[in-house]
Amino acid sequence: MKNTVFTGAGVAIVTPFRADGSVNYPVLGALIDDQIARGTDAIVICGTTGESPTLSPEEHADAIAFAVKHTAKRVPVIAGTGSNDTAFAAKLSIHAEDVGADALLMVTPYYNKSSQTGLVKHFYHVADRVKTPIILYNVPSRTGVNILPETYLELSKHPNIVATKEANGDISAVAKTRSLCGDDLAVYSGNDDQITALIALGGKGVISVLANVAPEIAHQIAALAVAGDIAGSAALQLEWLDLCNVLFCDVNPIPVKAAMRMQGLDVGDCRLPLCGTSAANLDKIRAVMQKHNLVCAKPAGVER
């Protein structure tokens, strides 16, 4: 049985930017402190929600090092080190290990794609070069690549590949993966609307976008399910389903950054090619945020 990196809700934290486009490290530090104070179980830095595709290699490395140092072992720090370039993924992973990351989050190779055999070779190549536990990340809606349950079985045989963030939306596939891999591969939900369902199948928690705006809620949905209170978790999941859904009314992290600005958090805009969402979407986000009493009297920034 492999060690579990964390149980509960890890936040896929945004990367805040200043008006000039640079990374706003004071705000990032404040976000990390607030997340930990409000019950978040892990910090996931430089993931999709952190806009990793538009971070330069230097920014990527610096953000991981900052998160590790600032978190100071209060909760695990999981560093996004995936790439469609296997050699670069290994380089990022080695750096994250060197600065003290507790785990690595590795997305499937995107754009150039890969066969299932190629996926195994890709992930094994990196896993052979680090000692830090690896969490796979399966999000075919973004990458065009889906990890099959049988491929998970092969990947789970590597002692350093300990978990997956599953965001393919296919509950049946998750059930098959759990059946094949058992305790050799922990499963985290990559979709906030499926936290209860995946934990009911034996999952360990969620890597969450929702946690950026409602960390206590994401934590509680996961914690209740992990504790065996599936009914209580499901009730909370359904109560907050509208917010889970509206945070994906546009490409992530456009909506969640807009929602955070409505909370008065100075996270800045997204970097191009991501841009502001429509007025109609902003109205939807604001309405749901107001329903849950999450809108600040003095929002940060100007919506556009």
Distance between CA atoms of 84 and 79, rounded to whole angstroms? Answer: 16
Distance between CA atoms of 124 and 49, rounded to whole angstroms? Answer: 25
**Any idea which residue has 């964390």 for tokens?**
6
137 as an active site residue: the answer is yes
Distance between CA atoms of 92 and 57, rounded to whole angstroms? Answer: 8
Output the DSSP codes for 122-144: HHHHHHTT--S-EEEEE-HHHHS
Distance between CA atoms of 253 and 210, rounded to whole angstroms? Answer: 11
Distance between CA atoms of 202 and 115, rounded to whole angstroms? Answer: 28
| Active-site annotation holder among 137, 152, 188, 257 | 137
Q: Indicate the SS3 state at residue 175.
A: helix
List, as own/partner pairs, every contact residues 33-37 make where C-beta atoms lie below 8 angstroms and the sequence separation is at least 24, other chains included.
33/70, 34/215, 35/11, 35/211, 35/215, 36/71, 36/74, 36/75
| Active-site annotation holder among 152, 165, 257, 284 | 165
Q: Which residues contact 298 (CB under 8 A, 6 or more apart)?
A: 264
Longest dimension (CA), the chain: 53
Q: Indicate the SS3 state at residue 164.
A: strand
Q: Which residues contact 46 (CB under 8 A, 6 or more apart)?
A: 15, 52, 55, 60, 63, 64, 79, 80, 81
Question: Which residues have a catalytic role annotated?
Answer: 137, 165
